[in-house]
Amino acid sequence: MWLIVAELKTTELPPDICRAPADIANDGYQITINEEKFTAKTLEGYAVLIVADAAGAKGIERFDATAFTIEESNAIREWVRSGGSLLLIAGATPYGKAAENLARALGVEMSNGRTNDKSNRDTEAPLSSILYTRENKLLADHFITQGRDSTEQINRVLAYTGQSLKGPENSVAFLK
């Protein structure tokens, strides 16, 4: 399986995201960093695309800059419809706004704000975190959270800030 990772255009990513490419490579996957415009040709031959907090302007965190043109967004949408797998990580502003064209092409509405839930946070974590668990009923049963067996079951997700999303019709939210 091949993995293509969009260029990370920020230096303020959480350490877990920054080290993700190295962790994935250690698991035996080949990684390609993409610095070109996304087209059907650049996506050809790849199975997975991970976009992690892409910013609209390289080295500059502007609140009005887009990371993906409409043409790039449409190319990625068609690639997904043809069987490609996309993990889009787009936190709060400016990253949500930067990924808005791509999200819209996929039928996802982004709030472009910050989401906080003081009553469902891990008291050991930063104030802007939200704790999703089966116990607090914020983590839903879904094939992703259930895993293939009990050893892969996810029972707790701690999210750091982020934004609210509304998926397309017939989509399923597993973080409530």
> For position 18, what pLDDT does the model report?
58
Find how far residue 102's CA is from the centre of its chain: 11
Confidence of residue 136 (pLDDT cuts 50, 70, 90): very high
The model's pLDDT over 53-101, given as tens digits with 9 standing for 90+, comes to: 777 765 555 566 788 999 999 999 999 999 999 988 887 777 788 889 9
Q: Residue 139's beta-bridge partner residues?
A: 175
Is 51 in a helix, a strand, or coil? strand
- From 52, 54, 37, select the one nearest 86 (Cα to Cα): 52
For residue 117 the two structure tokens come to: 């839930």
Tokens 């079951």, located at residue: 153
Strand partners, 48: 3, 85
How far, in Å, CA of 82 to CA of 75, rounded? 11
pLDDT digits (tens, 9 = 90+) for 102-127: 999 999 998 877 777 878 877 787 66
The class level of CATH for 1-108 reads alpha beta
| CB 81, CB 43: distance < 8 Å | no
- Average the pLDDT over each of 38-52, 116-130, 156-170 and give the range with the smallest value: 116-130
The pTM score is 0.77
